[in-house]
Amino acid sequence: MRWIYCTIAAATIVGLTAVCGPSPAAAASKKPAAHAGISQQSQACLQCHRSLTPALAEEWRVSAHAGKGVGCYECHRADKTNPAAFEHNGATISVIVSPKDCGGCHQKEVDQQKGSHHAKAGEILASLDNYLGEVVGGSPAVAVGCFQCHGSTIKVLANGKLSPATWPNTGIGRINPDGSAGSCSACHTRHRFAKAQARQPETCGKCHLGPDHPQVEIYQESKHGILWQANKSQLNLDAKSWKPGVDYTAAPSCATCHMGATRTQEVTHDVGDRISWTLRPAISTKLNMVVFDDLSKIDVPEGQPLPKVGDEKKGGDGKLRKVTQVFTWQDRRARMQDVCSACHASGLVTGFYKQFDDLVDMYDDKFAKPATAIMSELYKAKKLTPAPMDEKLEWTYYELWHHEGRRARHGASMSGPDYAWWHGVYEVAKTFYFHFIPEVKEVAGEPLATELLEKYVYSQPAHRWLKEGMSKDQLQQIQDFYKQRYGEQK
Amino acid sequence: MRWIYCTIAAATIVGLTAVCGPSPAAAASKKPAAHAGISQQSQACLQCHRSLTPALAEEWRVSAHAGKGVGCYECHRADKTNPAAFEHNGATISVIVSPKDCGGCHQKEVDQQKGSHHAKAGEILASLDNYLGEVVGGSPAVAVGCFQCHGSTIKVLANGKLSPATWPNTGIGRINPDGSAGSCSACHTRHRFAKAQARQPETCGKCHLGPDHPQVEIYQESKHGILWQANKSQLNLDAKSWKPGVDYTAAPSCATCHMGATRTQEVTHDVGDRISWTLRPAISTKLNMVVFDDLSKIDVPEGQPLPKVGDEKKGGDGKLRKVTQVFTWQDRRARMQDVCSACHASGLVTGFYKQFDDLVDMYDDKFAKPATAIMSELYKAKKLTPAPMDEKLEWTYYELWHHEGRRARHGASMSGPDYAWWHGVYEVAKTFYFHFIPEVKEVAGEPLATELLEKYVYSQPAHRWLKEGMSKDQLQQIQDFYKQRYGEQK
Amino acid sequence: MRWIYCTIAAATIVGLTAVCGPSPAAAASKKPAAHAGISQQSQACLQCHRSLTPALAEEWRVSAHAGKGVGCYECHRADKTNPAAFEHNGATISVIVSPKDCGGCHQKEVDQQKGSHHAKAGEILASLDNYLGEVVGGSPAVAVGCFQCHGSTIKVLANGKLSPATWPNTGIGRINPDGSAGSCSACHTRHRFAKAQARQPETCGKCHLGPDHPQVEIYQESKHGILWQANKSQLNLDAKSWKPGVDYTAAPSCATCHMGATRTQEVTHDVGDRISWTLRPAISTKLNMVVFDDLSKIDVPEGQPLPKVGDEKKGGDGKLRKVTQVFTWQDRRARMQDVCSACHASGLVTGFYKQFDDLVDMYDDKFAKPATAIMSELYKAKKLTPAPMDEKLEWTYYELWHHEGRRARHGASMSGPDYAWWHGVYEVAKTFYFHFIPEVKEVAGEPLATELLEKYVYSQPAHRWLKEGMSKDQLQQIQDFYKQRYGEQK
């Protein structure tokens, strides 16, 4: 199975395709010579890189790109105006291939990606999470941590090289030297860029994992993930059309539900298109979506006024833009339910969403809203300094919603019971009752502590058990069960 | 590889098989027309569901059921006495297919499942775990958490639909509207119901994972799991007969050891048949098994009187029944060791069990019994309220045995050293010495604290290190080693 | 696909190969009769073991060993001087096959393994970790925990059997009855010993996982691990030559980078050959390597004097030996970068190492050195007893470096952002600021606490944020971002 470079054949191709080399016009339009072998310039690249980086070259050789004549130079060539452009053995190239470059051939996908949260992932640079990273942790931790998923803002050094604090980086919201946002190779790993690979759950798991959003772990626990493991080889992963119920059956991957084509929907590269809840903040919200004429998008929380198509409205950057499309959260949910229906009868889908919504509402009302309100009152009463994360209670509250509360909600959203409960609500409850409340008491002091806890916690029936305990009957019932289940414990 | 419904061929089959449609008699006995194409009624179901839920229909089409003429209606048809039965386009069906339904063809498997702990998993509804879920967490957390593994008690609403608080649900101990307990599709995922899938470790990992019983993680760490990954494609997973050493070699999955046929044993659908220890309670016990004439079973802890075959004895529900079989824990262990022996020489098996038993005994004696005794004394002394989980010490104790202590024991039981130690005994010791004991001191106050700790902890040689420290020699030895291993640390 | 033992054919082979049975001379040299069928003695073993342990026999039958005439007896035969030797149906054998035995045919690999850290893994017996295991945990936890990865010191009982406290065991640093150190079957799982299996990441994950060194989890999160999952079936895993960029492309496994042959390097069985940092201790060090004439090796931390080839120097056991080779940490790094270059251009490799080094330096300087210095001062001031792990602060410090600090550093070393940050530096910072410092204050008391914290912590600019908080501008920036990202939170 060892592969051999057919150098004689390759030389022949060079001869045949010499006319297809990038003419100045082609370079300007960034369209590669289609289907007609590899350009002379890319052949020149390969001359060295076949031996310098042989696996890189071979990964490309087996790619769809190679089959269609898209070689090294077709993607890496750069405009001299690109701050990251440099001369390399006579060619002007950029190490970084940005969505702007990919858009030369894949404009539709890049347009979809533009308005997505993925493209905005680099904006976290100005957030609390970044304060945590840069100040509490330290810049080097940001480079190998945050940036690797969110994307760095690539810096070009005085010597024209990329700053190693920001490169290598394939974070999905990378801010590129050419001004574009995103990194297609976050999912379509270079240099094969295989559809089959991008469709696998592990691809999404590069970032969607861990204590704060264990989506891939939840998926792996779910029936979806179990069937993926069982049937992976039968899923037609290489196919161009990849519709559940048409091109493959069980099981769906992340891509199936959040991005994939169905019998009525096209592929989307905005992973938010089918998401009706945002479960990222402390308190969850259903989100309507507004699309502008420049393809940018904003989310408008349920309950806030929605513009109509044709209206002018401020975009994400505060500038006025024309609204071209409006999707309510119900529209977004309907799109997801259309995916569900390839495999599931409608009663199951409805029941699933009811269980999911109920969990989110319960988490919000019982834990997130009281905790958030108490934190806000403590800041107002100057019981906490305005600086974030410099007091223990702030970490307790942060993990309550950012880690545990998300795990509970994500667990419910993708049918991972262990995450909904043990990693989720169980931890939320433990933290809320046995860490958050005691720490609030200490930070607030009396009479504020009692006042806040009465107002936000104990007045809620769901919290009364903590003060009232259990009835004798309840106690007996539990003790009897325990004896039967576990035997008498010495 | 795209599949096409051969509608013309299907129409022909309808013609050929019309005589096989469910006669009233057949419907009553719930036996499908065997091997003779698909019934007219099921064809009618497919008429819509091929387009409504195409992947569901296709999953069924590639199933063994389809090959044997078992269609939609053969499983979903329902007796009008079934509270979940409803009219659907002229047929009386139930969304839920219960073990009673599956037993029409698979009686033996359903009989085995009847006496198993799996079938009783729904009984947790009355337990402390459920108090935790329902009261401390909240009902919606139970629906997406506990119920998804343990099984819900399915409720039929006034309008005849299934209550979304209880459905969808494939929990293995689900209590069905027809009174049966269990859900075959917990493991045999609909609508393909593939043997190959049920034999994969991920199937069991749907529930047997996480902080309180990470069996699948332990398996994955073990040599068994490593070889599974390496040799998965050679394991003959689709075969009818699937005996280790006969039909396949390395590696075993969960199903191999706990359920699978061997050269001398048949398949069992009671996963407890080969288990000699219960590691679920705070304190472990070896369990003998008593089987009754109605196929129900109870466990009798080692040391308690065992009935003889023919005796009458109270079953799990307190009713007197006739004993038909008695298996000691040694019998159960012998069954498991028979599985081991397909791959391992007898010395290895004996050594493994010695190491496993020693770990369990050590955990019990050093940590679980003292902690349990102290908790019991604190309740008696009214230092703790009778209500469970309303005091921090109760959570500390709970995690000590329910999470950490189980991980240690399960890690030892399936050769996952990281779980036996780092996630197990290391955590048990940290919690016991640096959380449990300090909290006991606070809760008990003096002189009770000293009295309890002397009596249950410090009088035990294994705990003396905490008071006596180390000898100078021991200290020097450790320091020397550290210098050599890690170098001098500034 | 069921396999059948061709007993007639086997009988024929016995006839043909009878002349190849182990002559006394062959037995002495421990060389099996090569390529010439199976020896008479091994046939005798199989006579029983085909039915006693059929899967064991079959695993061997499909192995390369079987194909080359290496049977049961060729590996298990033992010298009567071997303390673990015993008579078994007329043959003198040992259950344990040690590196000394494997070296009969695989001398080169055993020689490489001899000097490795793997071979020394059993030395932990005298370390703090072992104190933790033996005393704080308990011996049975060591047997099923520590020993299973580090290796036990196999004890032979008076009756000639192996002590079950030490066997079964495939720990990589096992100390064998014949005096050799190591267990080849730690990675080359018996009885197939397949190259393909040893090359899989799960093999290393048996031990390199978990809270204290989650290497396999980091790999699985990384692009390397993602591509492994996507392309596993195309990796030519069975091939004799397995060079990245020659025999296979994406993706590398653990074996590829740490052990595998490249275009310019041979396979090595010393996994430390290409490692330039040690990230195991509290404080990281770059390590030079000295090789002695008996193939043993020592690491010499950067900054300490390095011997020259031909010098005499104390080896790991304190005895003087002649130095035969010296590799600087730069040499070791160059070897690893040679692997990287099969797939990656040089700029990416340089940038990766810069990010990695920066993270390690930051962790060392900001967290590890201050914490280590403070602990040392507390011991000197007798604020802590000399006994290890009997005070809570010792556990806090231990987890800071041994668990969290390693996760951060390992995460950076293998491109697992979640481990570098959330499981790593985030946890390090939380522990350092909100557990370690408060506990130091309590343990040290005033004025020592203030003195130590000023000297080692607050005087460092990286820690000033804790006292100085944030500027109004910074605060506003964060609040604005939060509003935009998460909406106004009620």
Distance CA B26, CA B362 (A): 58
Is the bond preceding residue C88 a cis peptide, omega within 30 degrees?
no
pTM, two decimals, is 0.91
**Confidence band, pLDDT 50/70/90 cuts, at residue C21:** very low
Phi, psi of B321 (to 5 degrees): -140, 165
pLDDT at res. C35:
40
Contact between C231 and C251 under an 8 Å Cβ cutoff? The reply is yes
Per-residue pLDDT tens digits for C112-147: 999 999 999 988 765 666 788 989 999 999 999 999
State the complex-level ipTM.
Answer: 0.91
Distance CA C260, CA C202 (A): 16
Which residues of chain B are modeled with pLDDT < 70?
A: 1-36, 125-129, 478, 481-490
Which has the closest alpha carbon to C404: C383, C426, C385, C389?
C426
Per-residue pLDDT tens digits for C328-354: 999 999 999 999 999 999 999 999 999
Chain A residues in contact with C428 (beta carbon < 8 A): 137
Contact between A164 and A140 under an 8 Å Cβ cutoff? The reply is no
pLDDT at res. C160:
83
Per-residue pLDDT tens digits for A108-120: 999 999 999 999 9
pLDDT at res. B475:
75
Q: Do C344 and A53 touch (CB under 8 A)?
A: yes
Closest CA–CA distance from residue B387 to any residue of chain C (Å): 30
SS3 label, residue B301: strand
All partners of chain C with 3 or more CB pairs under 8 angstroms: A, B
pLDDT at res. C176:
96
Contact between A53 and C263 under an 8 Å Cβ cutoff? The reply is no
Buried b (16+ CB within 10 A) or exposed e, C53-92: bbbbbbbbbbbebbebbbbbbbbbbbeeebbbbbeeeebb
C176: amino acid identity, one letter: N
Q: Do C429 and A136 touch (CB under 8 A)?
A: yes
CB-defined contacts B:C, below 8 A: 210
Q: Do C52 and B351 touch (CB under 8 A)?
A: no
Chain C residues in contact with A205 (beta carbon < 8 A): 220-221, 226
Which member of C239, C241, C469 has the closest CB to residue A390? C469
Closest CA–CA distance from residue A481 to any residue of chain C (Å): 32
As given in the structure block, the two tokens for residue B328 are 């000691």
Chain A residues in contact with C344 (beta carbon < 8 A): 53, 56
What's the burial of B38, exposed, middle or buried (CB within 10 Å: 0-12/13-18/19+)?
buried
> What is the H or E stretch that residue C476 is in?
helix C472-486
Enumerate the β-bridge partners of residue C91: C88
Interface mutation target, options A219, A223, A353, chain B, most CBs of B under 10 Å? A223
- Asked if the model's pLDDT at residue C22 lies above 70, the reply is no
Closest CA–CA distance from residue B238 to any residue of chain C (Å): 11
| Segment C94-100 mean pLDDT | 96
C389: nearest CA partner in chain B: B466
pLDDT at res. A31:
38
A128: nearest CA partner in chain C: C478
Contact between C100 and C68 under an 8 Å Cβ cutoff? The reply is no
Buried b (16+ CB within 10 A) or exposed e, A438-449: ebbeebbeeebb
SS3 label, residue C117: coil
> What is the H or E stretch that residue C320 is in?
strand C320-327
Instruction: Characterize the bridge pairing of strands B285-292 and B297-301.
Output: antiparallel
Which member of B131, B161, B388 has the closest CB to residue A347? B161
C-alpha distances in Å from residue A409, one per residue of A414, A423, A424, B333: 9, 10, 8, 41
Which member of A168, A196, A386 has the closest CB to residue C351? A168
Chain B residues in contact with C202 (beta carbon < 8 A): 220, 225-226, 229-230
Distance CA C72, CA C57 (A): 9
C-alpha distances in Å from residue C434, one per residue of A136, A394, C283, C419, C441: 12, 11, 21, 20, 11
Per-residue pLDDT tens digits for A169-198: 999 999 999 999 999 999 999 999 999 999
Name the CA dihedral angle for A181, A187, A188, A192, rounded to a multiple of 10 degrees. 130
Which member of A148, A197, A212 has the closest CB to residue C227? A197
Chain B residues in contact with A352 (beta carbon < 8 A): 168
Name the CA dihedral angle for C275, C278, C280, C285, rounded to a multiple of 10 degrees. -170
Distance CA C148, CA C437 (A): 35
Phi, psi of B368 (to 5 degrees): -70, -45
Q: Do C143 and B359 touch (CB under 8 A)?
A: yes
**Confidence band, pLDDT 50/70/90 cuts, at residue C471:** confident
Distance CA A414, CA A419 (A): 10
As given in the structure block, the two tokens for residue B343 are 């791959």
pLDDT at res. C470:
73
Chain C residues in contact with A282 (beta carbon < 8 A): 486, 489
Enumerate the β-bridge partners of residue A248: A244
Contact between C277 and C286 under an 8 Å Cβ cutoff? The reply is yes
Which has the closest alpha carbon to A136: C367, C11, B207?
C367
Reported in sequence order, the residue ranges of B179-307 that DSSP labels E, i.e. its strands, are: 277-278, 285-292, 297-301
Phi, psi of C192 (to 5 degrees): -100, -35
Q: Per-residue pLDDT for chain A (490 aa), expressed as one digit of tens each?
A: 333 333 333 333 333 333 233 333 333 343 333 345 899 999 999 999 999 999 999 999 999 999 999 999 999 999 999 999 999 999 999 999 999 999 999 999 999 999 999 999 988 765 666 788 989 999 999 999 999 999 999 999 988 899 998 999 999 999 999 999 999 999 999 999 999 999 999 999 999 999 999 999 999 999 999 999 999 999 999 999 999 999 999 999 999 999 999 999 999 999 999 999 999 999 999 999 999 999 999 999 999 999 999 999 999 888 999 999 999 999 999 999 999 999 999 999 999 999 999 999 999 999 999 999 999 999 999 999 988 899 999 999 999 999 999 999 999 999 999 999 999 999 999 999 999 999 999 999 999 999 999 999 999 999 999 888 777 777 777 677 666 665 554 4
Q: What length does chain A have?
A: 490
Q: Do A421 and B55 touch (CB under 8 A)?
A: no
As given in the structure block, the two tokens for residue C300 are 């010499």
C300: nearest CA partner in chain B: B487
Q: Do A352 and B168 touch (CB under 8 A)?
A: yes
pLDDT at res. C26:
34
Q: What is the DSSP letter of B387?
A: S
Q: Do C205 and B221 touch (CB under 8 A)?
A: yes
C-alpha distances in Å from residue B244, one per residue of A15, A250, B249: 59, 28, 6
pLDDT at res. B67:
93
Distance CA B408, CA B422 (A): 8
Residue A67: how many other CB atoms lie within 10 Å: 10
Contact between C277 and C284 under an 8 Å Cβ cutoff? The reply is yes
**Residue pointed to by tokens 């898209």:** A70
As given in the structure block, the two tokens for residue B357 are 């038993």
Residue A459: partners with Cβ closer than 8 Å, 6 or more residues away: none
pLDDT at res. A125:
65
Q: 3-state secondary structure string, B17-35?
A: HHHHCCCHHHHHHCCCCCC
SS3 label, residue A478: helix
Distance CA A57, CA A3 (A): 12
SS3 label, residue B479: helix
pLDDT at res. C125:
65
Q: Phi/psi zone of residue B243: left (φ > 0), alpha (ψ -120 to 50 degrees), beta?
A: beta
Instruction: Characterize the bridge pairing of strands B320-327 and B285-292.
Output: antiparallel
Chain C residues in contact with B405 (beta carbon < 8 A): none
Distance CA C213, CA C60 (A): 33
C412: nearest CA partner in chain A: A144
Residue B266: partners with Cβ closer than 8 Å, 6 or more residues away: none
Chain B residues in contact with A418 (beta carbon < 8 A): 145, 149, 207, 209-210
